[in-house]
Structure formats: structure tokens, C-alpha cells
Structure 1
């Protein structure tokens, strides 16, 4: 067991269901095939206790998916409200998404969510907020005008994913990641 997970044990014992889901996402991002027993061990609880909260692995996965969207919803408002920033909130969006990177990576990587209508609906309700920020950056001339909305989103998500993975693996400093994402994004899709 890693030191990181071992340190969280005592905190999770007394914490909320959200903390349990945060540990679960760490375990499942590190090993997508991790069992409920491994998640319970990392959280410092018994398997029976975990089963009281989530009867099946699918129940746990769905709960982690909803937690990821909860966190994204909580954080994206900062970027949307940064309309006065010279970049229209682009850096704030990168920072918000990288901060919940492991959760979003779990959503993006897990094929179970391709068919989870409730999670898909929630994702589609938050996504326009991200697009608002990206379109603002485009309207301010930071991005090429002809780039389609879908491509704005997908390339941004890809950069956020790589940055979050790099932060998680220790290859990139958390404070450097948003600037690197924005720089790569605006130079790759940037206006001439």
C-alpha cells in the first residue's frame, strides 16, 4: 500500500461519503481493475462497510462518476465568472479542470459511462459552461475563428487530461499545469 493511501486512511474513517469516493477514484485511476476489497482497504474501512454504501462495483463506479461531475460543477463557475480576464477565463477553466483531473480522467477513461444516461445528461448540462469560456477566448482573438465548437472542447479536454495525468504522476508541478495548458492550447489553435 502506498504511503499516500495509508495517510488518508485515518481521515477517511471519520469523513464523509465524498471522501470515500475521492479515495475510490485514486485507487481506480491507479488500477481500473481494482476490486471493492482494494478500495475498502485503501479507505481504511472493511469490505462490509463499503458494501453498505455501494452494493455493487457498478454502484460505486456510478457514484464516483457523479462525484466527478459534482466537483466539476462546483469549480467551473469560477471560470465562467472570469469574463473580465484578458483570456476570458481560459486559465481559470484550465485550473478548475486540472484540480479535479483524476476525477475527470476516471470519467473519460471508463466505458461504463458511455451508456450511463444520468451521467451523460449531467455532463451535457455542464459542458456548455466550458464552451462559453472557450468561445470567449475565441471571440477575443486568442483562438482561430474557424475552429468548430466541438474541436475547441475536445482539444481542451485532451490537454487537461494530459496535464492532470502529468501532475498526478509527479512530472508536472500543479501550479505550472494551467499555464502550460493555456500556452499549448492558444499556440496550437491560436490566431495567427
Structure 2
């Protein structure tokens, strides 16, 4: 519900979940408490995925992308709700996760990834590809099994046609 309508009230969320508003309020007294709980759940999932990836393997990026794409809306939630950096504990968890991926990107720069772009830019490009895939899958524009190829080809090759475009 919150992905479809980020402004949804607790009453809207309760109705969509098929529970009474009072029941939801007992567990999450405020909308902020609900969002924080959902963010922590998403971070738990992302941490679980990262713990399964061998960051020293040649195919670590491919494995990471495939695993993160499978989490879909449960992790997309993190990217949909700006301002989570205001919560110190959530922000620290996000930075810890990001650092593992940044370390992988830095290791691959100069071999599989461009060295002339900052690692943070490549990270944001990767996250943007994941987010775009989740949205395109939800809209019926992209088959889930095609999503890793789209994200990875964009990450590794960009969107230019090197046959027709001169590189600066």
C-alpha cells in the first residue's frame, strides 16, 4: 500500500492489510513507527542477501544484482521513502550496506568497471537500475527474468552504441 501511495494513512494501510485500524495502531502507534519497522525489515533482507554473496568471486556483481532484484518491493521501499537518513540507526545500517557494495565496485574499477567514474556514481547507477527494474516489473513492462540482464548491461556497457558514438 505504501509503495502505491506513499502518503497513505495508517487507516489506509490497515484496510489494505485486512486488519482493523486499532490492531495496526497497537503494533505501530504512529505512521513513522510503521515506516521505520518496514525499513528495518528491508534492511534485514538486504543484509541477508549481502551475506550470501561471495564478494571476491568474479561474478559477485551478477549474483548481487540477481539476488537484490528478487527482493523487489520489499527493498524498493527503502528507495521510495526519502528522509530515512534522518533516523540515525537506519542511516548507519544503510551506509554499512552501501560500503560493502562500494568496496566491490572499487575492486572492479579498472577491470570490469570504469575507473574514470567515482565509485559512488557507479553505486547510484546500480541502485537506479534496480529501482527502474522493480518499477518496470510492477508496470508489466519487464519480465522478472530479463531484469538482471537489463541492469547488468546498463552497468557494464551503458546505453550508448559505441559503434556510432565517438567517446570523449
Structure 2 length-normalised TM: 0.86
Offset at residue 151 of structure 1 (A): 1.0
Is 2:38 the partner of 1:64?
yes
Could you say what the CA RMSD is over the residues aligned between the two structures, in angstroms?
2.1
Distance 1:42 1:134 in 2: 39
The count of aligned residue pairs is 161
Q: Quick check: which one's helix share is greater?
A: 1
Once the two structures are superposed, residues 6-57 of structure 1 have per-residue CA deviations (whole angstroms, 9 ceiling, x without a partner) of xxxxxxxxxxxxxxxxxxxxx1011111111121122221111111110011
Closer, same or farther: CA 133–101 of 1 in aligned 2, 3 Å: farther
Match of residue 3 from structure 2: 29
Match of residue 184 from structure 1: 154
Show structure 1 runs of 4+ deviating over 3 A.
none
Closer, same or farther: CA 31–169 of 1 in aligned 2, 3 Å: same
Offset at residue 99 of structure 1 (A): 2.0
Match of residue 156 from structure 1: 126
Q: Give 5+ residue unaligned stretches, structure 1.
A: 1-26
Match of residue 83 from structure 2: 112
Q: Give 5+ residue unaligned stretches, structure 2.
A: 163-168
Match of residue 74 from structure 1: 48
Is 2:53 the partner of 1:83?
no
Offset at residue 135 of structure 1 (A): 2.9
Once the two structures are superposed, residues 83-128 of structure 1 have per-residue CA deviations (whole angstroms, 9 ceiling, x without a partner) of 333xx31111111222223233322221331311111011011111
1:52 to 18, 26, 41: 26
